Structure 1
Amino acid sequence: MNHRIRSGALVAGTLTLTLALSGCFASPGADAGTAGSGRVSLAMLQPPRSGLSPLSDDAFKLSRWSTAETLVVLDDAGDPLPALATDWEQTSKLTWRFSIREGVTFHDGSRLTAEAAANSLRAATGASPVPRILDGVDLRVEVDGGDVVLTTAAPDPLLPNRLSSPQLSILSEAAYASGTVNPVGTGTGPFKLTAVDGTSSATLERYDGYWGEPAAATGIDVDFVPDGTARAAALRTGTADIVEAVPAGQAASIDGNLINEVPMPRTNTLYLNTESGPFADPAVRAAAREAIDRAAIIASAYEGRADEAAGLLGPALPWTAGMRDGAGYREILAGRAEPARVDGVRISLGTFTDRAELPEVAVLVEQQLEEAGFVVEQDVREYQFIETDALEGAFDAFILSRATVLDSGDPVAYFAADFTCEGGFNISQLCQDTVDEAVAAASRTDAGDQRREAIMAAEAKILTTDAAIPLLHERVIQGEALNVTDAARDPRERLLVTGKTRVDAQR
């Protein structure tokens, strides 16, 4: 086996990807806090939880600010593109060789080398806990000349995709000097992180030594604003140029020209307990499936700002839609059980309060199930107090908002966790050989069209069991002042302010 990927005419893979994800609004509009200053004012949903360590979920902030970069980025279909690695080659079933881009400097002035890149990857493999993207992956990191050589204990066709995770960002050796990972002044992106004020704010400046096209904006001013009403007010009043995650309930009070809806790789799903209780019977699960009115749920709980689910994977993965029309997919789904007649069947239904819409979704689902003949008892708590019960099968049904592509940009890990016999997040308690075999086949397949076909076959196998009834695919509402140009609208939430983003002076 010898697969080689080359950068070809690609210059700055991150910039190429940004163009595919960006929108352009140059017309004048509502005042923005930094109009004409060359700086971008950003209001973000969540403050840092781990000191902006790239080995935590804070890594996605560093990526959204274009300050920390990875060896690889992903295109819209989830296939890998060059970034800090210019090309790569799979030299055996277990070994990959990545060539490191020349002429790149870190924000502290040191030079990107293969050893510097390897140092960041070794820090990730040795971290406790290990970054999610490497969970279960035994990775050995070596350097050979200008290349980083990676060896896995088992064949891993998804390794280049893994390296796109912001949790595997490449920082200078100085970032690791103190025992913790400090991203301030140690990235390679078009913006240099210069200051962090705890969980309150962060400041970035344009890095004039950037290896790609220099940033259009002179800097980024970040405020962490967990309160959704306050973020919406920042957009309405012009105190922020770009606002993350405007609550759906606030959107109606904002000029529609400032609102952009981005499909998310997140599905709200009704999980049914296949191991015990009424839903151990496939025909009773089928009755629940037939009872669901997705359009009514979206209209009420999401004010129309969501997409009906035709499957587990939604419009954030645009390649999925056409593949459901294939004869093979339809043939698999034809194996679903016929619905039973239900009269007075008692079930427990759980969900959690942490995502504001879910309690209302639960009320609507209860009403729809009761119209079909079920008797429903609800249990709604904070997620931290209900997760254990859900995973142990304490509920007959459970409503969950679930990320479907996780860190690699690939949904196989989600399928394996939620729907296989050994899955660690198997709320449905599903264990069927046909599903396990389909997920395993997808996992073994190389990235590209064949893997996507295998993924859709696995989705169809899962849906045939009615262990999970997909309800809707969420959208995130991103606010942008009308004088903002080229803010990224990224379903994976890896990009937001890029080198091309700018705030124009008002006219």
Structure 2
Amino acid sequence: MGLAALLTLTGCGLSGGQTGATSTVADRGQRIVVDNFRAPVAGWALESDAAYILSLSGCLETLTKYDQARGKVVPFLATEWKQVSPLRWDFTIREGVTFQDGSPLTAEAVADALSSVLESTVPARAFSPSVVSAVQAADAKTVRVTTPVEDPLVPFRLASVNTGILAPAAYQGATIDPFGHCTGPFVPVSEKAKQSLTLDRNENYWGGDVQLAGAEVRFITNGATRAAQVQTGEADISLSIPASALSSLQNAPGVTVLKADSPRTATLYLNNGRAPFDDVDFRKALRSALDVKALAAGVYEGAALPAAGPFAPSEQWASDKAGSPQQDVAAAKKLLAAAAYTPDRPLEIIAIVERAEFADVATVIQANLKSIGVPVTIKAKEYASAEPDVLAGNYDMILSQRNRLIDIADPIGFLTADYTCKGTYNLSHFCNKEYDAILAKAAQTSGTEERYGLYTRAGEILDSQAVNLWLVNEQATDAVRSNVLSYLQDPLSRYVLTAQTAKSGS
């Protein structure tokens, strides 16, 4: 079965929409403004989410690239690759590529860059010592990746933006410096900390002529502000538009709203590692108390569908047993009694402010849980300030969402990082030996159908344990000014500014 089919969540799949009529003439002197929903929180460390910002800004490039339209991994800074033994993969480096500082792209430079990610204090989820043993230059044109066990997904791992390649000079200081050290079509030239990144055209880009003179990527955490700025023309592209802003934007002159199915589920994460959430009956009681159908129809105004577990029902690895939970207050109260729950303190929901709708979602959940005798308070926080406590287990519940295919374009990344006992992004603090054994087997299974069957079993365990409360399956929604040309929406949040992205003068 082809991967393109496997990643199609509904009829339009993950390919996104595209702007720009072919008859419109691009003005190469134009610059563009992009409103992004998150700022880098760890400087420019590539093992962090900063890599996504450098990638969508047209700076950072990787050895391979996941092409969502074709549903497969394609060449990027590497032209070809092969598995030369069960534990070794060789990648051939593209000739004639120079970094933005003028130094050449070599196998040694690539190996050093990837080794830097491996050696970081908190390695990237898709490319860590647990899945990659070493990276070295096998010869002048070949980079060899060695794995501790056979791994059929190494080319997918090298498409992760966290494995982006920077010039040797980027690693000379105390922190990583991407300025002038990328290979992409845009050169970062200045930044305002936590506010914006300014870029100029790379005049010597290996991939062809760059159509824009430059760009500014702004870090705007408030979704209503992102929507307002694209409507007024202050921004040319605004990413991740909240559902509450869609009606006004869809009727706004000069604005195009693009939607694509996204492997993203709004989730109420529960801290399984502390009381009362360490009791499965308590977690199931919360699930029975929620009215996710009303939530989808109300807060999301029909722009999202009720969730049915950790996967969207149409994903190939979703269980055919899955179904959206039905609100049942009586059953929820019985489960609370079985858990011997006593409301000795209000439980807290953290609603991250990057998602404007989460304030209303939290209020609905608060009312649902009050109906079964579970008192809840709500605190609004930026995700960056909440994450350290959440990862450390110092929280009750947090409303957030995560793209299941963003670390690696296969569920193995999400299922491993988020739910295994040693998962590096295990916000739920869930640990189950049977689940871990299934994921360990899946990681070494080359047959697609068999591997996806293991993902199904893993998802069924998560659902049966009510590890989290999966609320609604969302769409990726971007708003773009009508004079932006050749913008292809990426539901996986990796690419926005490309050499082809253009803007007309009118």
TM-score, normalised via structure 2 length: 0.79
Q: Tell me the SS of whatever aligns to 1:461.
A: helix
Output the amino acid matched with 1:461. I
- Alignment match, 2:10: none
Q: Report Cα offsets for 1:257-303 as digits up to 9, x if no partner.
A: 53333444432234567788787776775565444332211233333
Distance 1:420 1:105 in 2: 40
Output the amino acid matched with 2:92. S
Distance 2:492 2:27 in 1: 28
- Alignment match, 1:258: 256
Tell me if the contact between 2:109 and 2:168 (Cα under 8 Å) persists in the aligned partners: yes
How far off is 1:388 after superposition?
4.6
- Alignment match, 2:495: 495
- Alignment match, 1:3: none
Tell me if the contact between 1:26 and 1:483 (Cα under 8 Å) persists in the aligned partners: no
Q: Which moved more, 1:85-94 or 1:217-226?
A: 217-226
CA root-mean-square deviation: 3.7
Distance 1:152 1:480 in 2: 42
Tell me if the contact between 1:55 and 1:167 (Cα under 8 Å) persists in the aligned partners: yes
Q: In the superposition, relative to structure 1, how do residues 28 and 120 fare at CA in structure 2: closer, same or farther (>3 Å)?
A: same
Please tell me whether residue 56 in structure 1 is matched to residue 48 in structure 2: yes
How far off is 1:71 after superposition?
0.4
Tell me if the contact between 1:419 and 1:426 (Cα under 8 Å) persists in the aligned partners: yes
Tell me if the contact between 2:407 and 2:414 (Cα under 8 Å) persists in the aligned partners: no
Tell me if the contact between 1:246 and 1:478 (Cα under 8 Å) persists in the aligned partners: yes
Tell me if the contact between 2:261 and 2:476 (Cα under 8 Å) persists in the aligned partners: yes
Please tell me whether residue 191 in structure 1 is matched to residue 183 in structure 2: no
Tell me if the contact between 1:105 and 1:211 (Cα under 8 Å) persists in the aligned partners: yes
Output the amino acid matched with 1:266. R
Please tell me whether residue 165 in structure 1 is matched to residue 160 in structure 2: yes
Q: How does 1:252-401 map to 2 (within 5 A)?
A: 252-256=247-251, 257-270=255-268, 288-314=286-312, 320-322=314-316, 324=318, 329-330=319-320, 340=331, 342-343=333-334, 345=337, 346=341, 349-355=347-353, 356-369=356-369, 374-381=372-379, 382=381, 384=385, 388=389, 392=393, 395=396, 399-401=399-401
Distance 2:282 2:221 in 1: 41
Q: Which moved more, 1:63-72 or 1:104-113?
A: 104-113
- Alignment match, 1:97: 90
Q: Tell me the SS of whatever aligns to 2:226.
A: helix
How far off is 1:65 after superposition?
1.8
Output the amino acid matched with 2:300. Y
How far off is 1:104 after superposition?
1.6
Tell me if the contact between 2:416 and 2:439 (Cα under 8 Å) persists in the aligned partners: yes
Tell me if the contact between 1:72 and 1:160 (Cα under 8 Å) persists in the aligned partners: yes
Please tell me whether residue 241 in structure 1 is matched to residue 236 in structure 2: yes
Tell me if the contact between 2:28 and 2:212 (Cα under 8 Å) persists in the aligned partners: no
Q: In the superposition, relative to structure 1, how do residues 93 and 361 fare at CA in structure 2: closer, same or farther (>3 Å)?
A: same
Distance 1:135 1:262 in 2: 30
Tell me if the contact between 2:59 and 2:184 (Cα under 8 Å) persists in the aligned partners: yes
- Alignment match, 1:8: none
Output the amino acid matched with 2:134. R
How far off is 1:498 after superposition?
1.6
Distance 1:433 1:331 in 2: 22
Tell me if the contact between 2:406 and 2:493 (Cα under 8 Å) persists in the aligned partners: no
Distance 2:87 2:50 in 1: 30
How far off is 1:225 after superposition?
3.7
- Alignment match, 2:57: 65
Q: Tell me the SS of whatever aligns to 1:54.
A: coil
Q: 1:42 aligns with which of 15, 20, 34?
A: 34
How far off is 1:497 after superposition?
1.7
Output the amino acid matched with 2:358. L
Q: In the superposition, relative to structure 1, how do residues 223 and 401 fare at CA in structure 2: closer, same or farther (>3 Å)?
A: closer
Tell me if the contact between 1:201 and 1:223 (Cα under 8 Å) persists in the aligned partners: yes
Q: Tell me the SS of whatever aligns to 2:184.
A: coil
Q: Report Cα offsets for 1:180-217 as digits up to 9, x if no partner.
A: 32222222122233343444443333334322232232
Q: In the superposition, relative to structure 1, how do residues 82 and 427 fare at CA in structure 2: closer, same or farther (>3 Å)?
A: closer
Tell me if the contact between 2:317 and 2:455 (Cα under 8 Å) persists in the aligned partners: no
How much identity, in percent, do the aligned residues show? 32
TM-score, normalised via structure 1 length: 0.79
Tell me if the contact between 2:266 and 2:472 (Cα under 8 Å) persists in the aligned partners: yes
Distance 2:391 2:364 in 1: 20
Q: In the superposition, relative to structure 1, how do residues 357 and 36 fare at CA in structure 2: closer, same or farther (>3 Å)?
A: same
- Alignment match, 2:4: none
Distance 1:107 1:421 in 2: 41
Q: In the superposition, relative to structure 1, how do residues 390 and 303 fare at CA in structure 2: closer, same or farther (>3 Å)?
A: farther
- Alignment match, 1:118: 111
Q: In the superposition, relative to structure 1, how do residues 435 and 474 fare at CA in structure 2: closer, same or farther (>3 Å)?
A: same
Tell me if the contact between 1:78 and 1:410 (Cα under 8 Å) persists in the aligned partners: no
Q: Report Cα offsets for 1:41-92 as digits up to 9, x if no partner.
A: 2233334444434343221111112222100111328743221111112222
Tell me if the contact between 1:393 and 1:428 (Cα under 8 Å) persists in the aligned partners: no
- Alignment match, 1:4: none
Distance 2:137 2:170 in 1: 20
Gaps of 5+ in 1: 1-18
- Alignment match, 2:11: none
Tell me if the contact between 1:351 and 1:358 (Cα under 8 Å) persists in the aligned partners: no
Q: Tell me the SS of whatever aligns to 1:134.
A: coil
Q: In the superposition, relative to structure 1, how do residues 248 and 193 fare at CA in structure 2: closer, same or farther (>3 Å)?
A: same
Q: In the superposition, relative to structure 1, how do residues 476 and 109 fare at CA in structure 2: closer, same or farther (>3 Å)?
A: same
Please tell me whether residue 139 in structure 1 is matched to residue 130 in structure 2: no
Q: In the superposition, relative to structure 1, how do residues 427 and 494 fare at CA in structure 2: closer, same or farther (>3 Å)?
A: closer
Distance 2:22 2:485 in 1: 9
Output the amino acid matched with 1:330. D
Distance 1:394 1:141 in 2: 38
Q: Which moved more, 1:104-113 or 1:302-311?
A: 302-311
Q: In the superposition, relative to structure 1, how do residues 168 and 290 fare at CA in structure 2: closer, same or farther (>3 Å)?
A: same
Q: 2:197 aligns with which of 195, 202, 216?
A: 202
Tell me if the contact between 1:352 and 1:386 (Cα under 8 Å) persists in the aligned partners: no
Q: Report Cα offsets for 1:402-433 as digits up to 9, x if no partner.
A: 44334223333432344444556656665544
